[in-house]
Chain A
Amino acid sequence: MPDDTLPKAGRRDFLVRSATLAGGAFLSIGVGPSLFTGDAQAAIAATPAYTPSIWFTITPDGTTTMHIVKAEMGQHIGTALAQIIAEELEVPWDKVRLDTPRESVENFAIYGLAYTVNSGSVTTEFDRIARAGAIGRIALTEAGCKVLGAKLADCYASQGRVIDKASGRAIGYGEILQKVKLERTFSYPEDFRKVALKERSQYKIIGQSVAALDIPAKTNGQAKYGMDVFLPGMAYGALAIPRSRYGAKVLSVDDSEAKKIPGFIKAVRIDDSIGKCTGWVVALAETFPAAMKAAKALKIESDPGPYGKLSLDDIFEEFSEKAKNPEESANWVLEGDVEAALPAADKQLEAEYSSDMVCHAAMEPINCVVQHASDDSWHVHIGTQGQSFLRMTLNYYLSKVLNKKADDVKVVVHQYLVGGGFGGKQDYDDALAAAYCVNEIGRPVKLIHTRESQFATSFPRTPTLHKLKAGVKDGQLTAMNHDIVCGWMGPRFSVGKKYGSDWLQLDSHDEKKQDIDQWSIGGSDHWYHVPNHRVRAWNSDRTTWAVQASALRTVSNSYNMFVVESFMDEIAHAAGRDPVEFRLAMLNGKGGNRGIPNTGYPPGTPSDYYMDQLWISLPWTKEGSWPGYESGTVGGALRLANCLRVAAGKAGWGVKKLPPNTAMGVALSSAEERQSPTWVAGVAEVTVDPTTGRYRVNKLTIAMDMGIAINPDNVRAQIMGSALWGTSQVMSERLTYKNGAIEQTNFHEYQPIRQVDVPQFDIELIESGRHPMGVGEPASTVVAPAVANAIFKAVGARVRHMPITAQAVLDAMKKRKA
């Protein structure tokens, strides 16, 4: 219900006001015009009774509840964001609580896009939530001062109270709310921008390793994931494994055996007319065990579809063919003249690298509960990385299925904890299928993937092929060419010029200006000073669709850093130089590698909002006007060099006494995008058994410059977890594809790292005081190349394929001897 007592505020102004509800007086910040979502009045009208509000609510007992739309999936993001707000708002940490607003058309207008990707939450939220906290503090200080009858100059806020220095008297925030009706407007962007944020030396909560607020419930069984929801009359759904990963068509379903299973309700052929859930049949039953049995008992005849005879070998064969046709490629990096510089070099190197598919395999298989409520609204209970896109996708799908106007289909997403995301919970087929089933039987449905159906319908990282050339002159790298062929995920997410969403797709850096998918190429645009540097990219659209290529932790960096950093090592050895010293010499911060300076506050147009949220890279800019808060690139390659010095020094590079067949390898990374780098260096100490090729990672030394560590203990946890993710990727993870289907079915065939393979850690946080950058992913990218480089140093085996199997190490050793 619109509140027509709302004072008139400017289009983008911030209103700090308290309101009285049945629950008592409370203060909400950001009520009123939302930052970047267009028409303020519409946003106000869509905000019933001023709750929920943006960012936080203070109640009279002094409790401050932070409203977090970012997905909680192991990164403790709610705690980190709450620390930032609490710091500027000056509320005591023990009074801080978290909640999760639901996703709806109305809340979308208030909170903007609920989407958690790219390790971007702290980076993109920091500035505006810090300012929101600060204006809350200012308004409360002014009001508290009035109640105390003090001079404003004598008043300051601390720990949830306004204190009058002159009299020594104080009043709590909660009491202020009960005594005064707050009404204070801050104009946007002027006032909002002018708010003075604290200096780092004044921080009391930022930089403290406070305990994560989501952890206690995760130790006593009380944590709630989507699967933990129960609704009256709910049926269960289990997916029959589709014939193909993508594109199958169901011809017939025989449920005669399934009908013998007690509790079986029916088999539902999911409407796949929008290209989602292709070839899906869901068995519905009164219990989940009965649904699983029924799904297995169904006899389904399917046309395998266009990819039914495609296998991984065919994909790599196509990649090789494509790489022979440069005219089909798009230029991503174009510096100097590679074609002229290569033949002019003293020494030329060529190498071919490749990587296999892997998948997210989160411990929580995707699941959801969908309900069609009596008021005709649709409710999805789920833990997802993309509440907003899920709502939009389901709205579109249901409008087709129900033959209604999209505006007449109301979808609400209720967000729960995510039992591991890693990029794998930003597709929404499962919720569509569950909703379709709900419509079929008129009951709520809980759909749970079995581990087998989860693998069969996973969204893998694309296989990749890389061809590299380098030219070395006088011991210097003078020219480098990197050709990348893979499936681009962008088109699968319907982004790119041909879909009309050009803001998500970049132009190639040549006269052709064609679409280029940064998510598949990023990382190849590294920070080394190479005067002649070219990266060319080819898209295999067939691969994208056949395997349903998607984003997996660090996205393209996970293979491109393996390739770039392994090849850098090859070049260093060929040039007769130490791999650390060789890298340092090229990290000189010259030209574009100096980073983009801080150039003012973002104008705040909707398109900027999306840019901001999604951290879309600007194409290889030398200068930039965005982002407005200090760019993470400030300092450029010099920050990477600093990390390298620290990691190499701490690991004892070149000085530590090592056992036989043991060596160190080094690698760097600036994941995730060139415009959103977190600077990281890693040294891996590896022992190889030369008779079996098996190897053990003994120790990982990681140095990371993330600017400001909001919660250092958690930053360490994230670095450790992501570095082990990288260890797992290089040692044992491999997904294969045959006759249109993914071959692995469970954890005996797909093997993530376990306790026995965990190395020792030495982690160093380099707090440069720059704008805080994401920490949940980047460390994962340095491990594979550091391990590869260590294996080479230890036994002379250069393995150019990820994962690195024991057999590949043996083969490479033999090749070297031959």
Chain B
Amino acid sequence: MMNLSINGQSRLSDSPPDTPLLWVLREELRMTGTRYGCGLGLCGSCTVHINGQAVRSCQLKVSEVGSAAITTIEGLHPANAHPVQKAWVEIQVPQCGYCQSGQIMQAAALLAQNPNPTEKEIVEGMNGNLCRCATYPRIVGAVKRAAKLMKEKQNA
């Protein structure tokens, strides 16, 4: 039995230690916002935060998490009002939506580390996240918008 810290709460898992965190989150704990896309860390659909860093949860064994803080899309903001989420709705980014939890988690981690990214930094920072609907231009636009929202919040 492992004790995981997920979205600020303590959650128990009795999955085998080599189970990818993705499947613990999705199927054992039923936090289905984290999506399975490839299982090889190639698409980014399963991105979560580990101590604030964007990590592909399909590539992380649950036993490797230890006491690190896991944040999933469900816990990014208590009222689902993180600047990235707000910008995603405002710019109307998602189409099918399947990859978007991962895109949002990637973008939030990117902005946490670099609050003023250039367009090039956004493109490079988001390049690991596939979107088959190709919402890419709106993703870039929404990351820029989120950066602005974060700044406004800081100055407020």
Contact = CB atoms under 8 A, between A and B. Distances in A.
Interface of A: 73-76, 211-212, 214-225, 227-228, 230, 236, 262, 287-289, 361-365, 417-422, 448, 450-452, 713-714, 717-718, 720-721, 724-725, 728, 746-748, 752-756, 758, 761
B15 interface: yes
Contact of A420 (B34, B80, B128, B132): B132
A720 B123 contact: no
B28, B40, B45, most chain A CB atoms within 10 A: B40
Q: What does DSSP make chain B's interface, helix, strand, loop or mixed?
A: loop
Interface string B22-64: 0100111011111111111011010000000000000000000
B114 interface: no
B138 A448 contact: no
17 contacts: A211-B92, A221-B34, A221-B74, A223-B97, A224-B32, A227-B36, A287-B28, A363-B43, A363-B132, A364-B37, A365-B36, A365-B37, A451-B38, A451-B40, A713-B92, A755-B139, A758-B140
Contacts of A728: 134
B130 interface: yes
Given A288-B27, A420-B98, A451 B73 contact: no
Contacts of B36: 227, 365, 448
A363 B95 contact: no
B101 A73 contact: no
B96 A418 contact: yes
Contacts of A225: 32, 35, 98
B23 A289 contact: yes
A362 B98 contact: yes
Contacts of B96: 73-74, 362-364, 417-421
A303 B93 CA distance: 47
B19 A289 contact: yes
A219, A365, A452, A721, most chain B CB atoms within 10 A: A219
A713 B141 CA distance: 14
B137 A289 contact: no
A384 to B, nearest CB: 13
A418 B36 CA distance: 14
B68 interface: no
B131 interface: yes
Contacts of A212: 92
Contact of A288 (B23, B35, B129): B23
A75 B95 contact: yes
Given A287-B27, A746-B42, A724 B134 contact: yes
Nearest to B125: A755
B97 A755 contact: no
A420 to B, nearest CB: 5
Contacts of B127: 754-756
B127 to A, nearest CB: 5
Contact of B126 (A236, A418, A420, A755): A755
A218 B135 CA distance: 13
Nearest to B76: A220
Contacts of B45: 363
Contacts of A419: 35, 96-98
A721 B45 CA distance: 18
Contacts of B23: 287-289
A230 B30 contact: yes
A288 B30 CA distance: 13
Contacts of A262: 16
Nearest to A263: B16
A420 B92 contact: no
Given A262-B16, A364-B35, A219 B92 contact: no
Nearest to A448: B36
Nearest to A780: B134
B99 A755 contact: no
Closest 5 CB pairs of A and B: A221-B33, A218-B97, A419-B98, A74-B95, A724-B134
Interface in B90-138: 92-101, 104, 123-124, 126-138
B12 interface: no
Nearest to A230: B30
Contacts of B15: 287, 289
Given A215-B89, A227-B32, A752-B132, A761 B104 contact: no
A225 B33 CA distance: 10
Given A74-B94, A364-B96, A753-B136, 17 more contacts: A74-B97, A215-B89, A218-B100, A219-B85, A227-B32, A287-B27, A288-B27, A289-B15, A363-B98, A365-B37, A450-B39, A451-B37, A720-B134, A746-B39, A746-B40, A747-B38, A758-B134
B134 A721 contact: yes
B19 A755 contact: no
B146 to A, nearest CB: 11
A420, A725, A755, most chain B CB atoms within 10 A: A755
Nearest to B32: A228
B123 A747 contact: no
A221 B72 contact: yes
A463 B99 CA distance: 29
A224 B137 CA distance: 25
A362 B15 CA distance: 29
B75 to A, nearest CB: 9
B56 to A, nearest CB: 12
A211 B92 CA distance: 7
B135 A219 contact: no
Contacts of A223: 33, 97
A219 B88 contact: yes
A756 B126 CA distance: 9
A725 B42 contact: no
Contacts of B98: 225, 362-364, 417, 419-420
A219 B139 contact: no
Given A364-B98, A746-B40, A755-B139, A221 B133 contact: no
A733 B140 CA distance: 23
A73 B19 CA distance: 30
Nearest to A745: B40
